[in-house]
């Protein structure tokens, strides 16, 4: 006789807990992040390694791995060989790796002489912080990497040092569509 009310109470408790969980995830902004548009990237004119301003709209329609870095940032320098490998392996699959240095041209040139990369590097000292913020880096932390799909939507972001397998996991999802 006691089993029926006890069973009912257990089911009721489970339903209440599930309801609270659904409510929490539905209204909590961390789980309901608005989509981030890469439009600010495509309206940017950044300095290339030759000191010439380039419009980044030239990369529209590609899958972009956008990496914000600086010469004074050890984790940034550590991940660059893997980004270079990624560029080499995926360049024929409509994927481009772009580096945006929050630095001055001279130290970047000097650094890249000893550690060349296979992907385009742009210099954007202070404007890189603003661009990164519009692309989701609200902490202004380096390194910061953004994956942008062919429609110009930010698909994934990574704060801190990344590695090639982690990036490939995001890219495989995009390549399978």
Q: pLDDT value at position 20?
A: 59
Residues 18 and 88 in one domain: no
Lowest mean pLDDT among 14-18, 88-92, 172-176: 14-18
| Domain that residue 131 falls in | 39-175
Q: Model pTM?
A: 0.80
Residue with more model confidence, 175 or 21: 175
Asked if the model's pLDDT at residue 18 lies above 70, the reply is: no
Q: pLDDT value at position 32?
A: 47
Residues 22 and 58 in one domain: no
Number of domains observed in the structure of the chain: 2
Residues 120 and 58 in one domain: yes
Lowest mean pLDDT among 7-21, 41-55, 56-70, 98-112: 7-21
Residues 167 and 103 in one domain: yes
* 121-130 tens-digit pLDDT: 999 988 899 9
Closest CA to 124 of 105, 152, 97: 105
Residues 61 and 18 in one domain: no
Residues 50 and 15 in one domain: no
Residues 145 and 130 in one domain: yes
Structure tokens at 13: 């408790």
83 phi/psi in degrees, rounded to 5:
-65, -40
CATH assignment at residue 162: 3.40.30.10
End-to-end CA distance of the chain: 56
Q: Answer whether 117's CB lies under 8 Å from 83's CB.
A: yes
Q: pLDDT value at position 126?
A: 86
Find the helix or strand (DSSP H, E) in which 144 lies: strand 144-148
Asked if the model's pLDDT at residue 70 lies above 70, the reply is: yes
* 77-114 tens-digit pLDDT: 999 999 999 999 999 999 999 999 999 999 999 999 99
Q: pLDDT value at position 177?
A: 73
Place 43 in a pLDDT band, splitting at 50, 70 and 90: very high
Residues 24 and 110 in one domain: no
Residues 26 and 43 in one domain: no
Residues 87 and 152 in one domain: yes
Residues 2 and 62 in one domain: no
* 141-152 tens-digit pLDDT: 999 999 999 999
Q: pLDDT value at position 17?
A: 72
Residues 16 and 79 in one domain: no
């Amino acid at each position: 006789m006691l089993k029926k009310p006890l069973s009912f109470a257990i089911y009721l408790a489970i339903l209440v807990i599930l309801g609270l969980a659904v409510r929490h995830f539905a209204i909590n902004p961390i789980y309901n992040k608005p989509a981030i548009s890469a439009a600010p990237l495509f309206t940017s004119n950044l300095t290339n390694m030759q000191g010439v301003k380039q419009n980044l709209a030239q990369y529209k329609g590609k899958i972009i791995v956008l990496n914000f870095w600086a010469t004074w940032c050890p984790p940034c320098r550590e991940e660059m060989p893997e980004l270079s490998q990624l560029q080499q392996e995926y360049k024929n699959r409509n994927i481009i790796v772009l580096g945006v240095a929050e630095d001055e041209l001279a130290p970047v040139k000097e650094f890249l002489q000893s550690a060349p990369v296979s992907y385009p590097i742009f210099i954007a000292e202070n404007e890189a912080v603003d661009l990164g913020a519009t692309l989701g880096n609200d902490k202004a932390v380096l390194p910061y990497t953004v994956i942008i799909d062919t429609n110009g939507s930010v698909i994934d972001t990574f704060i801190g040092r990344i590695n090639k397998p982690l990036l490939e996991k995001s890219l495989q999802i995009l390549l399978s569509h």
